[in-house]
Amino acid sequence: MGDGPLIDQIQKFFSSKLNPANEETDQEKMRLAAAALMVEVMVIDRDLNTAELTEIKHMLAKRFQLASVEIEQLVELARKEVDSATSLFQFTRLINDHFDAEAKTHLIENLWRVAFADQVLDKHEEALIRRIAELLYVSHMDFIQAKQRAMGR
């Protein structure tokens, strides 16, 4: 009943992504999940900082070799997913299904980079990254090393 174009857009996106005939489905869902986790870190402190958004776009471009228009679309979809998500599980499950241990640790490092992009590490950002690392089965040692690498750039 009047769900509006946003719901239609999200449903259309996911129906196209969930089509088993689409060979890129897993890749696209995994990209969206990674982007959504980055956006979660960006918005958790309720301070929408352009430095954090710029860092997310930079990392997505580097990791997935996407054109700038594709990055903008991916970030916008990730923001919508984060707004409607009820838990982190929908994102971490996809990452667990498609990332190896090294890729998961690299994602945690990227989450730290988002958190540090505005030069302020909020306690909510740190707690969220810790929770995501636990859900991705990233060891505490890898979690700490990823944080140190992100700090040391």
Domains identified in the chain and CATH numbers: 26-152 (1.10.3680.10)
Q: What is the pLDDT of residue 124?
A: 94
Q: What is the pLDDT of residue 15?
A: 60
Higher pLDDT, 128 or 5: 128
- On whether the CB atoms of residues 150 and 109 are closer than 8 A, the answer is yes
Radius of gyration, CA atoms only, the chain: 15
Task: Indicate whether 4 pLDDT > 80.
Answer: no
Q: What is the pLDDT of residue 131?
A: 97
Q: Per-residue confidence at 35, pLDDT binned at 50, 70, 90? A: very high
Picking from 99, 107, 102, the residue whose alpha carbon sits closest to that of residue 133 is: 107
Task: Indicate whether 19 pLDDT > 70.
Answer: no
Count Cα atoms within 13 angstroms, Cβ side, for 119: 0
